[in-house]
């Protein structure tokens, strides 16, 4: 049973905060992101026994920095993948701002979805199902799961018993660590959005 699960967001990349990258191909960490992840590796404690990653390149790069620090391999886990934003993938936030569907999505995550994409509920279900599997099976003691802001938010909302519409109440910065402690009774959040300053 996994005793601690560290949910780590990938490091900074050049389009962060300007474009809705989602599952765009070829998004890589920049120098800032690599530095962030090196500091993140120093902050992860105790030493992990398993490192998992979303299939997206920016996450795999982030996970590889952690893996090199700890001398561990990286396991790619589709359940940790970014939300599928469908038709919105790759568009700038400035371009999306006047779209009433974008406004509705950001008001009502529980009942709307990106056009041609994945609902927040579906994202939450797949993320939590994976975390619960880690908690209940014979997984290693300390797990690092490298993912994206939305899957991490969705999991924290679930374990906080908060509605999906409150997603903006949880900030998830690049290279941040949010930690769950698991036991026979379930999961408890013991840290949210912890970062090591530059």
Note the pLDDT tens digit of each residue in 27-73.
Answer: 999 999 999 999 999 999 999 999 999 999 999 999 999 999 999 99
Q: Which two tokens stand for residue 65?
A: 């920095």
Q: Is the pLDDT of residue 121 over 70?
A: yes
Q: Is the pLDDT of residue 159 over 80?
A: yes
| Rg of the chain (C-alpha set) | 16
pLDDT value of position 186: 87
pLDDT band, very low/low/confident/very high, at 162 (cuts 50, 70, 90): very high
pLDDT band, very low/low/confident/very high, at 164 (cuts 50, 70, 90): very high
Domain span at residue 146 reads 4-194
pLDDT value of position 184: 73
CA-based nearest residue to 123, from 174, 169, 157: 157
- Mind listing the pLDDT tens digit for each residue in 3-30? 999 999 999 999 999 999 999 999 999 9
Spatial distance between the Cα atoms of 67 and 50, rounded to a whole number of angstroms: 9
pLDDT value of position 1: 61
Average pLDDT, the chain: 95
Q: Model's pTM, two decimal places?
A: 0.96
Q: Could you give the C-alpha distances from 36 to 13, 40, 66, 147, in angstroms and in order?
A: 11, 6, 11, 15
pLDDT value of position 13: 98
Annotate 80-132 with DSSP letters as a single string: GPPP--GGGTT-BHHHHTT-HHHHHHHH-TTT---TTS--HHHHHHHHHHHHH
Number of domains in the chain: 1
CATH code of the domain containing 83:
3.40.50.1240
Spatial distance between the Cα atoms of 62 and 147, rounded to a whole number of angstroms: 9
Lowest mean pLDDT, pick from 22-36, 59-73, 110-124, 172-186: 172-186
Spatial distance between the Cα atoms of 59 and 146, rounded to a whole number of angstroms: 6
Q: What is the mean pLDDT of residues 82-91?
A: 98
Spatial distance between the Cα atoms of 180 and 191, rounded to a whole number of angstroms: 7
Q: Is the pLDDT of residue 134 over 70?
A: yes
Q: Is the pLDDT of residue 120 over 80?
A: yes
| Look-up of token digits 């998004």 | 27
């Amino acid at each position: 049973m996994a005793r601690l699960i560290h949910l780590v967001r990938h490091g900074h990349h050049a389009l962060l905060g300007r474009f809705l990258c989602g599952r765009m191909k070829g998004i890589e960490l920049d120098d800032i992101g690599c530095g962030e992840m090196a500091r993140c590796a120093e902050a992860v404690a105790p030493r992990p026994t398993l490192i998992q990653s979303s299939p997206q390149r920016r996450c795999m790069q982030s996970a590889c920095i952690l893996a090199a620090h700890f001398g561990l391999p990286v396991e790619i886990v589709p359940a940790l993948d970014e939300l599928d934003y469908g038709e919105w993938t790759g568009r700038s936030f400035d371009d999306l701002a006047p779209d009433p569907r974008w406004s509705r999505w950001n008001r009502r995550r529980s009942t709307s979805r990106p056009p041609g994409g994945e609902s927040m509920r579906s994202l939450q279900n797949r993320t939590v199902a994976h975390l619960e599997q880690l908690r209940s099976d014979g997984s290693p003691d300390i797990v690092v799961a490298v993912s994206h802001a939305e899957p991490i938010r969705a999991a924290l909302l679930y374990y906080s018993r908060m509605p999906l519409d409150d997603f903006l109440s949880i900030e998830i910065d690049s290279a941040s660590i949010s930690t769950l402690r698991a036991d026979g009774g379930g999961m408890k959040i013991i840290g949210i959005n912890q970062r090591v300053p530059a």
